[in-house]
Amino acid sequence: MVTVVDHPLVQHKLSVMRDQHTGVKEFRELASELSLLLAYEAMRDLEVVPARFSTPLEEGDFPMLSGKKLALVAILRAGLVMTDAIVNLVPAAKVGHIGMYRDPESLAPVAYYAKLPADISERRVFLTDPMLATGGSASAAITKLKDAGAHSIKLMTILSAPEGIAVIEREHPDVEIVTAAIDRQLDDHGYIVPGLGDAGDRIYGTK
Ligand code: PRP
Ligand code: URA
């Protein structure tokens, strides 16, 4: 299942990110802001339970998060900017990291690091990566999470290609994707078009 967060604020911020003239500082800030807006949607089904206490005026039952445990997991590098932003919304969440890059020739994901919460099987997992292109990186990261015991996983991306969505739907049909937009296609080098370029390079100012 794919949820596109089709909201004017989301679409505007994404368009500014796409602009080749947007600099590193603004790009990173926009990626953080968009991550919060995506999290608002991705976490819509978190459970709340009534808690009894008094406002300054009267006693009542008020909805509070149930306390079910959460994990934010970043696919390095670019997913880090997303978890860094989202953890401010859910400070009790644990944060995991999966290091993965695409081989520039084959476009196959190369895993180089993983550190996950030990109790990940008890946690709802939000996996972050701004770009879902061929889907290779996200699919391999989801497999890693499942191997570690995770069974409730949502994938949050800023931009997705139809090709990557198809891969996740085929290989991990239980994983919902929450994204700001679905672009037209991949180019011959596996870049999303029209896209926004290389997310990691634009966030960190590398080339
Ligand atoms: C980018 C991006 C994803 C991956 C998407 O990372 O952040 O992780 O490519 O491509 P895919 O869907 O075809 O696998 P990259 O490999 O450039 O690594 P980086 O974040 O370390 O720059
Ligand atoms: N990774 C990126 O950062 N951008 C793309 O367009 C594809 C993969």
Would 99 be classed as within a structural domain?
Answer: yes
Let me know if residue 54 belongs to a domain: no
Q: Is residue 61 part of a domain?
A: no
Q: What percent of the chain has pLDDT over 70?
A: 100
How far is the first Cα of the chain from the last one, in angstroms, to the nearest whole number?
34
| pLDDT > 90: percent of the chain | 98
- CA 202 to centroid of ligand 1, rounded, Å: 12
Using alpha carbons, select from 87, 72, 199 the residue that is nearest to residue 132.
199
pLDDT higher than 90, residue 81? yes
197 annotated to a ligand binding site: yes
* Structural domain of 41: 2-46+69-204
Domain-located, residue 141: yes
pLDDT value at 67 more than 90: no
d(CA 96, CA 86): 13
Model confidence at 68, pLDDT cuts 50, 70, 90, reads confident
Number of folded domains in the chain? 1
CA 59 / ligand 1 centre spacing (Å): 50
pLDDT at 15: 98
109, 137 in Cβ contact below 8 A? yes
Mean pLDDT throughout 44-59? 97
**For residue 76, how far is its CA from the centre of ligand 1 (angstroms)?**
8
Tokens of 173: 């049909």
Label residue 63 by pLDDT band (50, 70, 90): very high
| ipTM (interface predicted TM) | 0.97
Residue 52 within any structural domain of the chain: no
Per-residue pLDDT band at 193 (split at 50, 70, 90): very high
Quick check: 207 pLDDT over 90?
no
The answer to the question of whether 205 is labelled as a binding residue is no
SS3 43: coil
41 within domain boundaries: yes
**CB 81, CB 32: distance < 8 Å:** yes
How far is residue 122's CA from residue 140's CA, in Å, rounded to a whole number?
A: 21
Residues 6+ apart with CB under 8 A from 130: 31, 78, 79, 81, 82, 157, 158, 159, 199, 203
For residue 183, give the DSSP letter. -
Give the global pTM: 0.97
The number of angstroms, rounded, from the C-alpha of 93 to the middle of its chain's C-alpha atoms is: 14
In ligand 1, the atom with minimum distance to the C-alpha of 107 is: 13
Mean pLDDT throughout 34-58? 98
Amino acid, res. 183: D
- pLDDT tens digits for 130-141? 999 999 999 999
Contact indicator for 18, 193 with CB cutoff of 8 Å: no
CATH code for position 30: 3.40.50.2020
Task: Determine the pLDDT at residue 35.
Answer: 98
